Amino acid sequence: MEIVGGTTGRSRTIRLFFALWPSEAMQKTLRQISEGVIVGDGGRAVPQKNIHMTLHFLGDVSIDVMPCLEQAASRVSARPFELTVDLLEYRQRLQMLWAMPADTPAALYQLVEDLYHELSGCDIKLEPRRYLAHMTLMRKLYTMPALPDIPAVRWQVNDFCLVESDTKCQGVVYKVLRRWVL
């Protein structure tokens, strides 16, 4: 009987997602924007270093699937594109504040679709829902905050990455495992 990662008879799992990862400067700008939002009840800011745009959330997957995920991502052929984040949106049901593009570029939708297609050959469960480009800035917002107009934050997207999500007692820690250049 094999023991791997503290489990008996099965391989260890890790929580993964594919994402666009902004520069530290862009993360700082987005954090400053979130600090300008006047909240009523609740509101916990996402740590600056955790601000990102998810492409596909994979959840807990076996580490045995990692080679397939990496090969699938390597087959994605996409060009760099510009993404303009210029809108704040409050999602009441989720109790979240998002930063997002008012107009999502076709190149981002194509990247998400191509990655989905390539990942479908791996032994994972993909979320089949319609893609909505956003970055979570705050969680646990119990009431609608006052949403100011924000300056357009332009982002030249040149790569995407595979990220591990690890929940620690001090909060969630994200680790970029690998990047693919567009």
pLDDT at residue 5 tops 80: no
Residue 65: the pLDDT is: 96
% the chain with pLDDT above 70? 95
* pTM given for the model: 0.90
Residue 170: the pLDDT is: 77
Cβ 148 vs Cβ 43: under 8 Å: no
pLDDT at residue 148 tops 90: no
What phi-psi label fits residue 18: left (phi over 0), alpha (psi between -120 and 50 degrees) or beta?
Answer: beta
Structure confidence at residue 10 as a pLDDT band (50, 70, 90):
low
Query: How confident is the model over 94-122, as pLDDT tens digits?
Result: 999 999 999 999 999 999 999 999 999 99
Longest dimension (CA), the chain: 59
Residue 42: the pLDDT is: 76
pLDDT at residue 17 tops 60: yes
Query: How confident is the model over 58-101, as pLDDT tens digits?
Result: 999 999 999 999 999 999 999 999 999 999 999 999 999 999 99
Which of 135, 102, 112, 119 lies closest to 58, judged by CA?
A: 119
Specify the residue for token string 């740590």.
Answer: 47
- Report the mean per-residue pLDDT for the chain: 91
For the beta carbon of residue 142, count every other beta carbon within 10 angstroms.
12
SS3 27: helix
Query: How confident is the model over 158-182, as pLDDT tens digits?
Result: 999 999 999 887 788 999 999 999 9
pLDDT at residue 6 tops 50: no
Residue 146: the pLDDT is: 83
